Amino acid sequence: MTAHAPIETALDLRHQFPAIAGWHYLDSAATAQKPQAVIDAITNAYGRDYATVHRGVYERSATMTQSFEAARGAAAALIGGTVGEAIFTRGATEAINLLAQCWPRGDRNRILLSTLEHHSNIVPWQLAGYEIDVVPLTDNGEIDLDAAECMANESHALLAFAHVSNVLGSVLDAKRAADVAHKIGAKLLLDGCQAAPRLTVDVAEIDCDFYAYSGHKLYGPTGIGVLWGKADLLAQMPPYQGGGAMIDRVTFERTTYLDPPARFEAGTPHIVGAIGLHAAIEWTTEIGLDRLEAHESALARQCRDALREVEGIHLFGPEDSAGIVSFAMEGVHPHDIGTILDDEGVAIRAGHHCAQPLMDHLGVPATARASFAAHNDPSDIDALLRGLHKVKRIFG
């Protein structure tokens, strides 16, 4: 069986990814492979261009500072923000931890999350002492905003939802979520890890208050991410960590801090990570996020259609998922599926995907997950199907 139907929105980009030659990589929801343009930008930044930022008075330091701040501007512009609203973090995980620790909640000590959240949007709130209320899902795996509207009240400091689920690929009605939050005087954080690489995001149009995303899922390097926040809200927040680069004046008696975003970026930043992220943003922007979304969504639909023809496969999530297809095979643990597929040169994710509450909701310990990116094409689906038929032969 082959997935041979043409995809009208197909992209031909596999040759730009040196790490996947001869390999069917279907795990981009975990981390994206890097196009040569990003690899070259990182190499040059560590080589001919390298210097520290913000401190040096010599020319190369000034040039690297310009490049670093240009990356901040690009990171903000990608989601419709402005440069002074983008904080560089080590990733979306640190971005959410920063907000959980720094947001001045007052007497509001509760947060509204959903059943499908990633652990990185659960554990930081627990560590910060919030009481969690959980919004259920609709029958097709979307966050039930009708239920959220009924549950939200003035004890909630924030609502924090995944813009796109990392397991189900379901897409949140983000603008309505913002309305629900603001109606009760709360703020909205969107976890954009799975959305930023494939959706056109406009935080002003959505009217969310905070947005977090990671560089490595956006074809950029690991160790770099972004917390975007409305400028007036960031100004209300105290620092998360202390050190160099975030201070105005230090004495042994008292320290004053710079305005955001510098206030939240103690120490030497991940300079090259920011430059690599900038290259990744330029690369995706040149292709067009609308084209990327159409390409990945088409592959996901084709994959779901093909999997329905494999006996014993159970699919999770909505039909129109954002480049992600999660499934289970009757009588076979997802880890066994992943191991056999690996022998066939196919890389998928198998496990709970850092979403154990969602697994409990689905009634399974784990799922297998195929996730699509710019470099994928129908040959990857063909290879996945061949591997799954081998799984069936082995397990009878």
Residues taking part in catalysis:
354
- In eight-state DSSP terms, residue 191 is E
Distances (CA, A) of 171 to 33, 143, 168, 195: 23, 9, 9, 8
Can you name the residues that pair with 134 across neighbouring β-strands? 113
- Residue 274 to residue 49: CA distance in whole angstroms: 14
- Residue 354 to residue 178: CA distance in whole angstroms: 25
- C-beta of residue 264 within 8 angstroms of C-beta of residue 239: yes
- How far is C-alpha 5 from the geometric centre of its chain's CA atoms? 30
Which token pair is 178?
Answer: 């913002």
- Residue 135 to residue 125: CA distance in whole angstroms: 15
Given its phi and psi angles, is residue 131 left (phi above 0), alpha (psi -120 to 50 degrees) or beta? Answer: beta
